[in-house]
Amino acid sequence: ETGVTQTPRHLVMGMTNKKSLKCEQHLGHNAMYWYKQSAKKPLELMFVYSLEERVENNSVPSRFSPECPNSSHLFLHLHTLQPEDSALYLCASSQASGNYNEQFFGPGTRLTVL
Amino acid sequence: AQSVAQPEDQVNVAEGNPLTVKCTYSVSGNPYLFWYVQYPNRGLQFLLKYITGDNLVKGSYGFEAEFNKSQTSFHLKKPSALVSDSALYFCAVRDASSSGSARQLTFGSGTQLTVLP
């Protein structure tokens, strides 16, 4: 399989559940990203793993926890989410070196929090 | 700080007519500019980028974009729209002088393009 894959594609969870989103890239990249996409809002960068360094948006609540075990895999662990966390969660990857490498996106996980 | 604005939430155009999707940006240094497209139930797909050089950049599917430094704009264009071009379009910017954790793209809120048959 090529490109960036994400599982599951759809997820419905209650506020007390714990779940994880998975992303895998098959492009040989060494940087991976989590974005949150809400309707009519700019894409919100949540976390970046680049050359084993983690960069995070300080406005992201602690109920979102990323994990990057290697350069090809990225997880987003979810616990005690709120209904306003319902959104499309996109994973992306790129080469970390160089100044202007475009990012390649997965299809996203549509998350609904009840 | 860097920012990007897409002033139109929605653009409608008739098939065969030219289309323009607007984008303006703000960076402290020189910009790297990108356009992405998102089809329903899909992730974002790279269309084209401006790094340096010719102000007119050509990309995938017949799209092009014109970099205008004085107007801080990077509008996406296509001479003849197709119904299949209907999608959500995102502009993104990065300050060329940024480093470390600041070397991230900032995206606009997106413009929904609808091409009417």
* Conformation bin of residue B16: beta by default, left when phi > 0, alpha when psi is -120 to 50: left
Cross-chain residue pair A103–B109, CB shorter than 8 Å: no
What is the maximum span of chain A, computed from C-alpha positions, in angstroms?
A: 42
Q: Where are the beta strands (DSSP E) in A1-114?
A: 4-7, 10-13, 18-25, 31-37, 44-50, 53-56, 64-70, 73-79, 87-94, 104-105, 109-113
Phi–psi pair at B56, nearest 5 degrees? -100, 120
Could you tell me which chain B residue has the CA closest to the CA of A44? Answer: B107
pLDDT digits (tens, 9 = 90+) for B50-66: 998 899 999 999 999 99
Phi–psi pair at A80, nearest 5 degrees? 45, 55
Cross-chain residue pair B94–A106, CB shorter than 8 Å: no
Q: CA of A19, closest CA in chain B: separation in Å?
A: 21
Q: Which residues of B touch A104 (CB under 8 A)?
A: 46
Considering chain A, what percentage of its residues have pLDDT values greater than 90? 66
Could you tell me which chain A residue has the CA closest to the CA of B100? Answer: A55
Q: Which DSSP string do the residues of B32-94 spell out, in sequence order?
A: EEEEEEE-TTS-EEEEEEE-SS-SEEE-GGG-EEEEETTTTEEEEEESS--GGG-EEEEEEEE
Cross-chain residue pair A42–B106, CB shorter than 8 Å: yes
Q: CA of B79, closest CA in chain A: separation in Å?
A: 25
Say if residue B112's pLDDT is above 90.
yes
pLDDT digits (tens, 9 = 90+) for B66-99: 999 999 999 999 999 999 999 999 999 988 877 6
Contacts of B47 by beta carbon, 8 Å cutoff, 6+ apart: B34, B35, B36, B37, B59, B60, B61, B63, B76, B89
pLDDT digits (tens, 9 = 90+) for A30-57: 899 999 999 878 889 999 988 767 777 7
Interface of A with B in 95-114 (CB under 8 A): 99-100, 102-108
| pLDDT value at residue A84 | 93
| pLDDT value at residue A16 | 86
Say if residue A28's pLDDT is above 80.
yes
Contacts of B27 by beta carbon, 8 Å cutoff, 6+ apart: B2, B93, B94, B95, B96
Pairing of strands B64-68, B73-78: antiparallel
Q: Which residues of A touch B49 (CB under 8 A)?
A: 100, 102
Instruction: Round to whole Å and give the CA distance between A40 and A46.
Output: 17
Cross-chain residue pair B36–A41, CB shorter than 8 Å: no
Pairing of strands B56-58, B10-14: unpaired
Could you tell me which chain B residue has the CA closest to the CA of A42? Answer: B109
| pLDDT value at residue A101 | 76
Across the A/B interface, how many CB contacts are shorter than 8 Å? 51
